[in-house]
Amino acid sequence: MLLLEQMGVLFIFMILGYVCGKKQVLPDESAKSISWIVVNIANPALILSAGISENRTIRGMLLLETFGIAVLVFLFLILISIALPRIFRVPKEDAGVFRVMTIFSNIGFMGFPVISAIYGADALMYASLFLFPYNILIYTYGILAMKKTPGREKIQLKKVLNVGVLACILSVILYLSDISAPAVIKTTITYLSQLTAPLSMMVIGQSMIHIQWKTLFTDIRLLLFSAVKLLIIPVIGILLLKQVLSDKTILGVCLIMLATPVGSMTAMLAQQYDGNYEMASKGVALTTLLSVVTIPLVSMIL
C-alpha cells in the first residue's frame, strides 16, 4: 500500500510539472536548470543521506555481495537486450535504441526517491551500488549499442566518475567508517535530499509537453516492449534472485531497480549518437506513465 501511495505522489508531481510546462511557468530552459540541480545537488545529497544515517546495520560483506548482485542484474539485462529486438522484429537501425532502453532504467530520478520513501536510508546504501556498473556501462556499451557505425568507445573517467558516483564512494566511506557528521551538515543534506523526488518528477512531467499523445499509445511494438520492460523482466529477475537471496530489503531494492521506467539518458544518447531520438523519447514517456501502475502491480505479484 505504501508503494502505491508513493507512486501516486510521484504521479501528482509529474502532473504539476506537465501543467507548469504547458502554461510556460516551467519552460524548457528552466527545466534544464532544475534537472542540473537534481543531478548535481539533490540526488547526490540523497545518496549521502544513507552514509550519514545513524542506523548503520549493514556490514561490509553485505555491501560487497550487493555490488555483485548489481553486476549480475546488468548482465541479465544485457542478455535480454540482445534478444528483444529480434523477438519484436525491430528494424536494424533501431535495434540499438531498444537495447539501451532495456538495460538503462531511471534508477536515479525515480528509483532512489521510491526506495528512500519505502525502505529508508539503509536501502539507499544498497541502491547506490547500482550506480557503479550503470555509469561504466552507459558510457561504454550504451554508446556502442546506440551508434549506427561500429567503433570502439573509450572509457572516459570524467563521465564515469561523475558527481553521483563520487557521492556513492563518499557515502560508503562515511557509512563504513562510522564518522558522525555535524548536525548542520546532516540537516543541510536532509533538506537537499528532499528536493529530489518533487523536482525530478516535475522535470519528467514538463518534458511530456512535447510528446504527441496519439502516436504514443498507438505504437504496438513500443507498447509490447513496455509490457516486457515493466512487468515480465522484473518478475523473472526477482524470481531468479530469490533463489540466491533471502534478504527482503535487497530484493526490494532489486525490484525497484528492475521495475523503473526507461532512463532519460537513453534519449540523450540517441540524440548525441544518431539513434532514433523520437523512439527513445517515446519510450521514456510511455514507460514512465505506465510505471505508476506497473511498479505497485509487480510488487503485489511478487
Residues in contact with 271: Cβ distance below 8 Å, sequence separation at least 6, in sequence order: 277, 280
| Partners of 262 in the β-ladder | 105
Nine-digit cell at 63? 555491501
Q: Which three three-digit cell numbers place residue 236?
A: 523473472
pLDDT of residue 160: 66
Average pLDDT over residues 154-161: 65
Stretch 119-144: mean pLDDT, rounded?
82
pLDDT (tens digit per residue) in 13-66: 889 999 999 999 999 888 888 888 887 888 888 888 877 876 666 666 777 888
Distance between CA 29 and CA 208 in Å, rounded?
A: 14
pLDDT given for residue 151 in this prediction:
55
* DSSP of 118-160: HH-HHHHHHHHTTHHHHHHHHTTHHHHHH-SS-------HHHH
Q: What pLDDT digit, counting tens, does each position of 215-270 carry?
A: 788 889 999 999 999 999 999 999 999 998 888 888 999 999 999 999 877 877 78
C-alpha torsion 118→283→84→109, nearest 10: -30
- How many folded domains does the chain comprise? 1
In 3D, which of 263, 282, 208, 217 has the Cα closest to residue 18? Answer: 208
Q: Where residue 260 sits, what CATH number does that domain have?
A: 1.20.1530.20
Residues of the domain holding 93: 2-301
